[in-house]
């Protein structure tokens, strides 16, 4: 059943990958794979393993009933194994003896969490990659579109929208690469038995663990990690970075969409982005929603990092405390990525408004360029004082800065030269080169630190 807030906070494909049914499927997939791993190592017959696997159908189980029964033993695996064993016994009594053999409840929960993460990760990265590709296209299209750069929320020197969009894309891409690496390196099976020794499987234990890893396509750890929770912490950190990259881009879109700025907008069509009381508004609802989801990630990451401190061979409560925060972190981060994809699809860029924004300062934002041009003749300090005084006069009197500087620099710089120095399109530095490095355009794209080297194409 869809929750009241799911349309905003659980958007996109990650939600279904992390709901109760997905968790149940991951738990049962683990039990089925364990049975087959036991058969791979000769501890049960293939026919018995298939009898167990045949009973691992999520449609046969009631997640609500399992959740209620979990209160008895402190986790849902205990009632699930009891019911699974009963179903297998009805088909093959001998096979039922091997259900869950060698494993403890935490083994199944941890392995299921890694399966769930792999599946959710594939869905999240698909949205992230799609958003990145759209932003790269916008960056290439607007490589030389000047706009005001802003520092401390105030206009600073000019930049380009291409460089801004490239920055968003690069942030998403590198964060996605980090998540991919975390999944590749940290998503491992868990099979240690009661205290991490696999004693109940004797000398066959390590072979069963290796077979289980192969069956599930997860990494085989050097040893069980019941209380060494670095794998969960690595995933949490990677998801936190994704949320941060999405949130940064989304917040910029929200700010650039303000009525007074209007340099980008989201074109969502009728009924999208409207206000319940102000019909003239067109809110950037996708970016707003992405930001809302991304802002929830740090607290969830913090909870998972705190849960790393665990006692002895199996912890009392700490690993239990990971289940919901990990699930919610996947959901919120996945939703943020899905909304960012939507925001990128809806985004409309308005170069005319960007030019208006640049003109709003009357050229004072380019004072650094005039100072630099004058420094060889007047000295940097004198040039700085002269230009600063001219800017102050222009602001106080409302006069055009070109005229004020022309008076103060009569015989030193012509009005045309001053006008050229105050043209923002001529003071963009390496914005174009940096954009090319990210979009992969030209030689810079193939030799620099680019998307083609560290972005989606490497996964």
**CA–CA distance, 15 with 13 (Å, rounded to integer):** 6
> Any residues with CB less than 8 A from the CB of 12 and at least 6 apart, and which?
123, 124, 127, 334, 335, 337, 338, 339, 341
Cβ(212)–Cβ(51) below 8 Å: no
Cβ(170)–Cβ(453) below 8 Å: no
Find the catalytic residue in 200, 275, 425, 446: 275
Q: Is residue 442 pLDDT above 70, yes or no?
A: no
Find the catalytic residue in 229, 314, 332, 346: 314
Q: What is the pLDDT of residue 361?
A: 87
Q: What is the pLDDT of residue 445?
A: 41
Answer yes or no: 276 catalytic: no
Domain ranges of the chain: 105-356, 363-421
Q: What is the pLDDT of residue 441?
A: 83
Q: Stretch 291-305: mean pLDDT, rounded?
A: 97
CATH of domain 363-421: 1.10.40.30
Q: Is residue 105 pLDDT above 50, yes or no?
A: yes
**CA–CA distance, 142 with 164 (Å, rounded to integer):** 10
CA diameter of the chain: 103
Give the model's confidence band at 279: pLDDT under 50 very low, under 70 low, under 90 confident, else very high.
Answer: low
**CA–CA distance, 53 with 69 (Å, rounded to integer):** 22
Kindly report, residue by residue over 180-209, the tens digit of the pLDDT. 999 999 999 999 999 999 999 999 999 999
Tell me which DSSP letter residue 76 carries.
T
Q: Which residue has the tokens 């990092």?
A: 305
Quote the pTM value: 0.92
Q: What is the pLDDT of residue 30?
A: 98
Q: Stretch 103-125: mean pLDDT, rounded?
A: 97
Q: For residue 206, give the nearest of 187, 193, 218 by alpha carbon.
A: 193
Q: What is the pLDDT of residue 3?
A: 85
Q: Stretch 160-170: mean pLDDT, rounded?
A: 98
Q: What is the pLDDT of residue 457?
A: 40
Fold held by 105-356: Fumarase C; Chain A, domain 2 (1.20.200)
Choice between 239 and 362, residue whose per-residue pLDDT is larger: 239
Q: Is residue 52 pLDDT above 90, yes or no?
A: yes
Q: Stretch 280-291: mean pLDDT, rounded?
A: 88
Q: Which residues pair with 146 in a beta bridge?
A: 160
Q: Is residue 447 pLDDT above 90, yes or no?
A: no
Answer yes or no: 314 catalytic: yes
Q: What is the average pLDDT value for the chain, to the nearest integer?
A: 92
Q: Does this chain's domain 105-356 share its CATH topology with 363-421? A: no
Q: What is the DSSP string of 318-386?
A: TTGGGHHHHHHHHHHHHHHHHHHHHHHHHEEE-HHHHHHHHHTTTTGGGHHHHHHHHHHHH-HHHHHHH
Residue 418 token pair: 């001053």
Kindly report, residue by residue over 2-39, the tens digit of the pLDDT. 788 988 899 999 999 999 999 999 999 999 999 999 99
Q: Is 286 helix (H, G, I), strand (E, B) or coil?
A: helix
Kindly report, residue by residue over 362-412, the tens digit of the pLDDT. 888 898 899 999 999 999 999 999 999 999 999 999 898 999 999 999 989
Q: Which residues of 122-158 are buried (b: 16+ CB within 10 A; e: fewer)?
A: ebbbbbbbbbbbbbbebbbebbebbbbbbeeeebebb
Give the model's confidence band at 270: pLDDT under 50 very low, under 70 low, under 90 confident, else very high.
Answer: low
Q: What percent of the chain has pLDDT over 90?
A: 86
């Amino acid at each position: 059943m869809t929750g009241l807030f799911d349309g905003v906070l659980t958007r996109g494909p990650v939600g279904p990958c992390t709901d109760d049914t997905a968790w149940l499927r991951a738990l049962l997939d683990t039990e089925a794979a364990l049975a087959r791993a036991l058969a791979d190592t000769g501890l049960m017959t293939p026919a018995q393993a298939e009898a167990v696997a045949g009973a691992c159908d999520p449609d046969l189980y009631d997640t609500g009933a399992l959740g209620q029964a979990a209160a008895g033993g402190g986790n849902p695996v205990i009632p699930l194994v009891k019911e699974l064993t009963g179903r297998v016994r009805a088909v093959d009594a001998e096979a039922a003896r091997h259900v869950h053999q060698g494993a403890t409840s935490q083994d199944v929960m941890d392995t299921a969490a890694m399966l769930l993460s792999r599946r959710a990760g594939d869905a999240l990265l698909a949205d992230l990659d799609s958003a990145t590709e759209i932003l790269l296209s916008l960056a290439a299209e607007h490589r030389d579109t000047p706009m005001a750069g802003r520092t401390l929320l105030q206009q600073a020197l000019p930049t380009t929208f291409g460089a801004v969009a490239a920055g968003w894309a690069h942030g998403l891409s590198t964060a996605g690469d980090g998540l991919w690496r975390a999944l590749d390196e940290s998503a491992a099976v868990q099979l240690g038995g009661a205290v991490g020794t696999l004693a109940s499987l004797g000398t066959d234990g390590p072979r069963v663990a290796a077979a289980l890893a192969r069956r599930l396509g997860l990494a085989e750890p050097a040893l069980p990690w019941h209380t060494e929770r670095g794998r969960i912490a690595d995933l949490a950190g990677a998801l936190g970075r994704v949320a941060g990259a999405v949130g940064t881009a989304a917040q910029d879109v929200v700010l650039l969409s303000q009525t007074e700025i209007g340099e980008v907008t989201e074109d969502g069509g009728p009924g999208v982005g409207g206000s319940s009381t102000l019909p003239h508004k067109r809110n950037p609802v996708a970016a707003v929603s992405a930001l809302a989801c991304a802002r929830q990630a740090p607290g969830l990451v913090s909870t998972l990092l705190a849960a790393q401190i665990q006692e002895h061979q199996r912890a009392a409560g700490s690993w239990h405390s990971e289940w919901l925060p990990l699930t919610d972190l996947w959901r919120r981060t996945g939703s943020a990525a899905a909304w960012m994809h939507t925001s990128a699809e809806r985004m409309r860029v308005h170069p005319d408004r960007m030019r208006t924004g640049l003109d709003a300062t009357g050229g004072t934002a380019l004072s650094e360029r005039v100072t630099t041009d004058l420094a060889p003749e007047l000295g940097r300090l004198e040039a700085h004082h002269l230009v600063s005084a001219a800017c102050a006069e222009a602001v106080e009197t409302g006069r055009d800065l070109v005229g004020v500087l022309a008076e103060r620099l009569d015989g030193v710089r012509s009005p045309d030269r001053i006008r050229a120095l105050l043209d923002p399109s001529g003071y963009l530095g390496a914005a174009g080169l940096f954009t090319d490095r990210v979009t992969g355009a030209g030689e810079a794209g193939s030799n620099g630190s680019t998307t083609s080297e560290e972005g989606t194409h490497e996964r």
